[in-house]
Amino acid sequence: MTITPVKLWRRQKETSALIGKIGKIVLWTIIRVPAKSFKEQAPYPVVIVEFSKSGLENSKPERMILQLVDWNQKDLKIGQKVITVLRRHQTDDNEGIIPYNIKCKPIG
């Protein structure tokens, strides 16, 4: 599936709403043998992050699976606070489009 600049433009509101959310790591793992398009980034951690929904008492917290960036070994722990950021997803494709995606980085 090719993501064209038009599709990226249409999704910008959804993407911008995800930037800057603060949550905590619930589970994590290290990817050592990645897919071909991610081999330059390996090894890298993938985390499940739980975001609390403030003001909604009976709702379940939102969870997302994200790649952790700008990390040290000490950041890989359950309960570590993280913030969502926009980062390059992978290297350039044939069309010269640089794909970006939501990832997270440790804070605190």
Q: Where are the domains of the chain?
A: 5-106
Report which of 104, 46, 52, 108 is spatially closest to residue 80, judged by C-alpha positions: 108
pLDDT at residue 100, as a whole number: 78
pLDDT of residue 60: 76
Q: CB of 69 within 8 A of CB of 102?
A: no
pTM of the model: 0.78
- Could you read off the pLDDT of 43-96 as tens digits, one per residue? 999 999 999 776 556 667 899 999 999 999 999 999 999 999 988 776 656 667
**pLDDT the model gives residue 33:** 94
Closest by CA position to 54, among listed 22, 90, 102: 22
Res 83: pLDDT: 96
Position 1 pLDDT exceeds 60: no
User: Cα 5–10–15 angle (5° rounding)?
Assistant: 100
Q: How confident is the model at residue 2 (pLDDT cuts 50, 70, 90)?
A: low
pLDDT per residue as tens digits for the range 3-46: 566 666 677 777 778 889 999 999 999 999 988 878 888 899 99
The fold of the 5-106 domain, in CATH, is: OB fold (Dihydrolipoamide Acetyltransferase, E2P) (2.40.50)
